[in-house]
Structure 1
Amino acid sequence: MWTRDRRTRGDVLFDNLNVTVMLVICFATLYPIWYVLVNSFNDGTDAMTGGHIYWIPRKFSLENYATVFNNAGIMTAMGITVAKTLLGTVIHVFFTAMVAYALSRRELIFRNVYMVMGTVTLFFSAPLIPNYLWLRDLGLLDTFGVYIYPAMFSFFDLIIFLAFFREIPDGLEEAAKIDGANDFSIFLRIVLPVSLPVVATIALFHGVWQWNDYFTGLLYTNSDYLQPIQTFLYRVIAQSSSNQIMGATGGAINRTVTSQSIKLATMIITTVPIVVAYPFLQRYFVKGLMIGSLKG
């Protein structure tokens, strides 16, 4: 049976306008990334001669990326970033989930007191100087642990875990206890496996933060071998000439490579891993964001 299209001219106009606006927003979002990518593949000295390179490289070159990957300092920084992102994310997710599971148990003594104390930290945090003194007294300054231990726990992430754990049927845990499982076994073998959406969501949140964090390395480490790639990139961007970059990286730079081209290539290298990882976690990420929004 044929039905007449009841869409009015106003509906069609609205749809067209909506599509146009969204295309403009997408272009404004994606084009800066494309611009950086194109210029990172362009010869550095050619880019300095003048004129803008908007869509494709004017003089294609891989020297920018060769300089980055051949530099021991940059590759060491990349290794530190990968290590702290993977290790820090695993420890953060596990520890925060474990604390959230404990607080989800109604029989926990002083449970409400702990929740109030945690809520306070959402609005007030330690100033920079007390935080620095605290890390110094713990012996974490200029160590790899400064990237891991202070970031083990987040009360904001705990709230997301709590919202999910409260929806797990009590029958699962009761059946496990009948079989002789203790609380830690229940957490490892039942709670975590069924909480994969929220685990992936928190892992994505914290992993991106760990990967992009440059402030910790800038303030709390002095050794070059402990600098993450984002801190290294920050220092590269802070340089004003190729000579300064040569001193910072500890190696000679090809004459076709400039400070600007090094910046652009390093930006792309630091962005690609997150862009590649996101599609694999997207379906869990969407599920995690819907936690607590629907019942039944």
Structure 2
Amino acid sequence: MYSFKRQSASSAIFEIFNSVLMLIVCFVTLYPIWYVIVNAFNDGADAMRGGIYWWPRQFSLDSFQAVFRSEGIMTAMGVTVAKTLIGTPVHVFFTAMVAYAFSRRELVGRKLYMFIGTVTMFFGGGLIPYYLLIRDLHLLDNFLVYILPAAFSFFDLIIFLSFFREIPPGLEEAAKIDGANDFKIFYKVIIPVSMPVVATIALFHGVYQWNDYFTGMIFINDTNLQPIQTYLYRVVAQSSSNQMLASMPSGMAVSVTSQSLKLATMVVTTAPIVFVYPFLQKYFVKGFMIGSIKE
């Protein structure tokens, strides 16, 4: 009895400590986001005085009006939406198709391909060879630079492969008896029963496409083809925020500063994916658990 009480007391102390620690971690993680939002909705000139931590002191939407007045932000938003909507299904289709081929034991050289693919996950040629490759493929200042290089991922292939191996082989055998070829089996049998992993990979890559700023920064010089995250980078670097301030009406410019423009742009560019993510988080968790537990 004494041992049981001591163990219960230890468990309670651990639970309390763990809860407090998790609350601290959550606060440290979420407060910077809240700080950005609060200051973005505050009057820019007033925010320069500091002292704003929890709520806007002088609520103002002038910074957001200035952001949406910018000619480039809507174009950049359109590029991001387009590359996310196009690049995600392309990536899912090609990665799933290659993973299905890898799942077939009769594939000649399967172990060699797996070894080569695994090496590419840890070693790369570097930025300069990659840039030269993109240049030789005529993808500089080309919208396809967002789609083609990201059409396949070996890491996502492994996730697909783990799921495909759990599909009963009897499904494929039944389809073959009905006269279906490999490609028809893939999109008529394999894909429909693999929708959980398809949704998971689609979310992985969709978030990547939305958040990717590096591709637009390195391979795109045409501002009409730059995504919203690259636009945000330019604003944070002040090359665009000063231009936005110069183009504003004189009355609005009094309450808007370069810093408030940066914060408002951060909120505008990250809000869509932040609002979507909580509803789809279960698919991300399931994606990491695929293949890890077998009944």
TM-score under structure 2 length normalisation: 0.92
Matched, 1:101 2:97: no
Q: Provide the C-alpha distance between the structure 2 equivalents of 1:262 and 1:291, rounded to a whole number of angstroms.
A: 42
Aligned residue number for residue 242 of structure 2: 243
Equivalence for 1:25: 25
Match of 2:292 in 1: 293
Q: How much does 1:244 deviate?
A: 4.5
- Report the Cα offset of residue 57 of structure 1: 0.4
Aligned residue pairs, count: 289
State, as a whole percentage, how many aligned pairs show the same letter: 67
Structure 1: how far apart are the matches of 2:56 and 2:119? 52
Q: Aligned partners of 1:265 and 1:156: how far apart in 2?
A: 35
Task: Write out per-residue CA displacement over residues 142-189 of structure 1, whole angstroms, 9 at most, x where no aligned residue.
Answer: 010111101111111111111111111001111111112111111112
Other-structure match for 1:274:
273
Structure 1 residues 51 and 277: CA distance shift in structure 2, 3 A: closer
Do the aligned partners of 2:204 and 2:284 also contact (CA within 8 Å) in 1? no
1:281 Cα shift?
2.2
**Contact 2:235/2:262 (CA < 8 Å) preserved in 1?**
yes
Counterpart code for 2:14: F
The CA distance in 2 between the partners of 1:8 and 1:177, in whole Å, is: 59
Question: For the structure 1 residues 111 and 10, does the alpha-carbon distance in structure 2 shift closer, same or farther, using more than 3 Å as the test?
Answer: closer
Q: Note the residue ranges of structure 2 that are not aligned, 5 or more in a row.
A: none
Show the counterpart of 2:57.
58
Q: Does structure 1 residue 230 correspond to structure 2 residue 229?
A: yes
SS in 1 for 2:115: helix
Cα distance in 2, alignment partners of residues 188 and 35 from structure 1: 47
Report the CA distance shift for 1:70/1:240 in structure 2 as closer, same or farther (over 3 A). Answer: closer
SS in 2 for 1:149: coil
Structure 2 equivalent of residue 252 of structure 1: 248
- Name the structure 1 match of 2:194: 195
Q: 1:172 maps to what in 2?
A: 171
In structure 2, relative to structure 1, the CA distance for the partners of 1:75 and 1:171 (3 Å cut) is same
- Matched residues in 1 for 2:279 and 2:97: separation? 25
Q: Distance in 1 between matches of 2:227 and 2:182?
A: 38
Q: 1:51 to 1:279 in 2, by over 3 A?
A: closer
* C-alpha deviation, 1:262, in angstroms: 1.2
Partners of 1:64 and 1:262 within 8 A in 2: yes
Equivalent positions of 1:96-135 (< 5 A) are: 96-135=95-134
State whether residues 39 and 264 of structure 1, in contact with CA within 8 Å, keep that contact through their aligned partners in structure 2: yes
**TM-score after normalising by structure 1:** 0.92
Check 1:168–1:241 CA distance in 2 against 1; reply closer, same or farther (3 A cut): closer
Does the Cα contact within 8 Å between 1:77 and 1:226 map onto a contact in 2? yes
Q: What letter matches 2:11 in structure 1?
A: D
* Offset, 1:284: 2.5
* Residues 266-286 of structure 1: per-residue CA shift (max 9 Å, x gap): 111222222222233223222
Q: Secondary structure at the match of 1:8?
A: helix
| Cα shift at 1:7 | 6.1
Task: Quote the residue 2:41 is aligned against.
Answer: 41
Q: How far off its partner does 1:221 sit?
A: 0.7
Q: Deviations over 1:216-239 (max 9, x none)?
A: 111111111011111111111111
Asked if the contact 2:73/2:231 (under 8 Å) is kept, the reply is: yes
Alpha-carbon distance change, 242 to 121 in structure 1, aligned in 2, over 3 angstroms: closer
Instruction: Give how far 1:24 is off.
Output: 1.0
- State whether residues 97 and 161 of structure 1, in contact with CA within 8 Å, keep that contact through their aligned partners in structure 2: yes
List per-residue Cα deviations over 1:50-73 (Å, max 9, x = no partner).
122111101001111112222220
Give the letter aligned to residue 147 of structure 2: I
Query: Using the alignment, how far apart are the partners of 2:241 and 2:145 within structure 1?
Result: 31
Alpha-carbon distance in 1 for matches of 2:177, 2:265:
55
The C-alpha deviation readout for 1:120-147, integer Å capped at 9, x for no partner, is 2112112211111111111110010111
